[in-house]
Structure 1
């Protein structure tokens, strides 16, 4: 029976098994981050700082007076924008005094500190953004054409998809480093102490699993596409 890249008539593409570890780990990561952040959203810190206050204190202690703090909509939509030097915190984090609020706010400050210090992986990731945006928009179109038509479409699509994989891999040290910086700041500035610092670490560790899951999924998807391309060429 003819093979069209995504499977056989009446059957399931056997290369799909490559993605199973990523699917299972992603499910675990989503459960872990949801349960951990929700749990510690209900645990207030003794010092009672809001996420906004924590962010401002960390930024100012590192001389980052030019970084603005804004509130944005969405649940855990927090991020630091290096282009405009804006740290955006979701409402629960901005106003919250919980362990989760403090930890997430400090993590985003970690990215601001990275930016100020010229942290190489962050700069590299930022430089890849326009490339990845282009590649992600066109790679799957070319891959789909490669499944349907003969020609170099599949190989070119895989090459472009590789840029997204590289982006996900570079994201890992960026996120881990931001969390490490966050924990150092929380401890050194006396924002949290003892048990609360360990709880903050749990929140950030759980959040990091989502980035590991994304990287693993991208790598295994790339391996699957390569396996499909090699089999189509046989």
Structure 2
């Protein structure tokens, strides 16, 4: 397969990604309109879970503007950062999203191994992801005129392997954060059965976005290998 014809390999991953994105939007849209049983805002739920795990010193910051789903734990400042909608709202969706980010804070505090691995490879992944496709394109351009074309292409493909490795390590990190959130929300007495069911649906839909990202990365590597095989003939 050539460069353009090989894009057909990406179609299943693209369709899967669109389905996953639709699911997370539907789940968030539904449960962002439903109040949780204890009427806890995202910020209150996050504070309760942090305190229950001895992390009273971890601040909860509110983000100005941006996407409602743009929430994150920052290991550099050891802080939980929530969008305005999640911070102020007492919905099931806001509660479980906030607790998911606290799950990351707990991972950081307990030195969770996959987090250490992911953080350790971030600089390398940032570098290799920048150069992977330029090297691949240069390899294709020079493959017929220079013996270095094949070397450049192979270096680009190798760089892309690190991108897949990052997605592979990220998946258990995110799944673990969601599992921690659900278990903690139950043990602390934060949720009713209905709250738990809704939270599980939201967090499961969100976790699938990372599965989709991994699937897309793997499909991209398969495409690269197909291009390489076609170029060798």
TM over 0.5: yes
Which of 132, 138, 156 is 2:131 aligned to? Answer: 138
Which whole-Å CA distance do the structure 1 matches of 2:129 and 2:90 have between them? 38
Match of 1:198 in 2: 197
**Aligned match of 1:147:** 140
Cα displacement string for residues 65-119 of structure 1 (whole angstroms, at most 9, x for unaligned residues): 2312111132211011112201111111011100000000000001111111111
Q: What is aligned with 1:10?
A: none
1:89-104 aligned within 5 A: 89-104=82-97
Name the structure 1 match of 2:32: 41
| Greater alpha carbon shift after TM alignment, 198-207 vs 113-122 | 113-122
How many residues end up aligned between the 2 structures?
225
Tell me by how many angstroms 1:55 deviates: 0.7
Distance 1:159 1:66 in 2: 42
Tell whether 2:186 aligns with 1:180: no
Structure 1 residue aligned with 2:224: 225
Instruction: Output the CA distance in 1 between the equivalents of 2:132 and 2:8.
Output: 22
Unaligned runs of 5+ in 2: 144-148
Q: Where do 1:4-153 residues align within 5 Å?
A: 5-7=2-4, 13=5, 15-72=6-63, 73-75=65-67, 76-150=69-143, 151=149, 152-153=151-152
SS at the partner of 2:55?
Answer: coil
Name stretches of at least 5 consecutive residues in structure 1 with no aligned partner: 8-12
Q: Which residue of 1 aligns with 2:212?
A: 213
DSSP-derived class of the 2:39 partner: coil
- How much has 1:20 moved relative to structure 2? 1.7
Deviation at 1:16, TM superposition (A): 2.2
After TM superposition, where is structure 1 displaced by more than 4 Å over at least 4 residues in a row? none
1:44-66 deviation per Cα after TM superposition (whole angstroms, max 9, x unaligned) = 11211110111111111101123
